[in-house]
């Protein structure tokens, strides 16, 4: 029962209409654009980390803080574009196509990489930010990672669904066979019971 509920929940999550996926994609694209403003510059995130460790009463050197800040920001790049690529894939994927769509994955990756370029270009004009082709590479890697994870998840979900449907079909076939046997040989069973009673 729990297995069936998990399959149904996953199907409902992945079966949103294309318009809703497109809307979610636009919202997430705006989130990425907003995170590229001066408010979320490298200096701001470094101050946040320093205040965070200070609140925990942990003393770290400026070099360690700089390293953690770089890791945090690059991880954010990966995550942002992994999510964007997944949303774009669901937007482009044919609604009646249950399996992995290479065409949708291709366009999701291309558009994610293109949006990364425009985002870096936008940062050239933001105080405290700068454009970086290296960040574009990280963004594209994040998009690829997101699509890989989605591909594996869809494959596992497909196998789980197929196994569930196969088990359900076998159960119904077994019930049908038993019911036909019972309908074909009702008298023989009664005779066996009577003979056992006499003996």
CA neighbor of 139 nearest in space, from 116, 110, 105: 116
Please list the pLDDT of the chain residue by residue as tens digits (199 residues): 544 455 455 445 555 788 899 999 999 999 999 998 888 888 888 888 989 888 888 888 889 989 999 999 999 999 999 999 999 999 999 877 778 899 999 999 999 999 999 999 988 888 888 888 999 999 999 999 999 999 999 888 766 665 555 565 556 566 566 666 666 655 455 555 455 555 4
Radius of gyration of the chain, Cα coordinates, nearest whole angstrom: 28
66-103: string of b/e by CB count within 10 Å (b at 16+)? eebbeeebbebbbebbbbbbbbbbbbbbeeeeeebbee
How many CA atoms, within 13 angstroms, populate the side-chain half-sphere of residue 162? 8
Residues contacting residue 34 through CB under 8 Å, at least 6 positions apart: 40
Tokens of 110: 């291309």
Read off the pTM. 0.72
The length of the chain is: 199
């Amino acid at each position: 029962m729990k297995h069936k509920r998990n399959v149904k929940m996953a199907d409902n999550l992945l079966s949103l209409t294309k318009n809703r996926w497109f809307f979610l994609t636009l919202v997430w694209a705006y989130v990425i654009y907003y995170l590229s403003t001066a408010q979320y510059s490298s200096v701001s995130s470094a101050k946040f980390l320093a205040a965070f460790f200070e609140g925990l009463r942990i003393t770290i050197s400026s070099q360690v803080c700089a390293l953690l800040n770089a890791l945090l920001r690059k991880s954010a790049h990966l995550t942002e574009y992994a999510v964007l690529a997944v949303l774009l894939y669901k937007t482009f994927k044919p609604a009646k196509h249950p399996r992995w769509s290479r065409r949708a994955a291709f366009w999701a990756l291309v558009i994610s990489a293109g949006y990364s370029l425009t985002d870096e270009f936008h940062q050239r004009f933001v105080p405290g930010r700068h454009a970086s082709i290296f960040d574009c590479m990280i963004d594209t890697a994040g998009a690829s990672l997101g699509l890989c994870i989605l591909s594996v998840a869809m494959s596992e979900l497909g196998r789980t669904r197929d196994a569930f449907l196969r088990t359900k079909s076998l159960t119904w076939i077994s019930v049908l066979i038993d019911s036909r046997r019972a309908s074909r040989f009702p008298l023989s069973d009664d005779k066996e019971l009577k003979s056992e009673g006499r003996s």
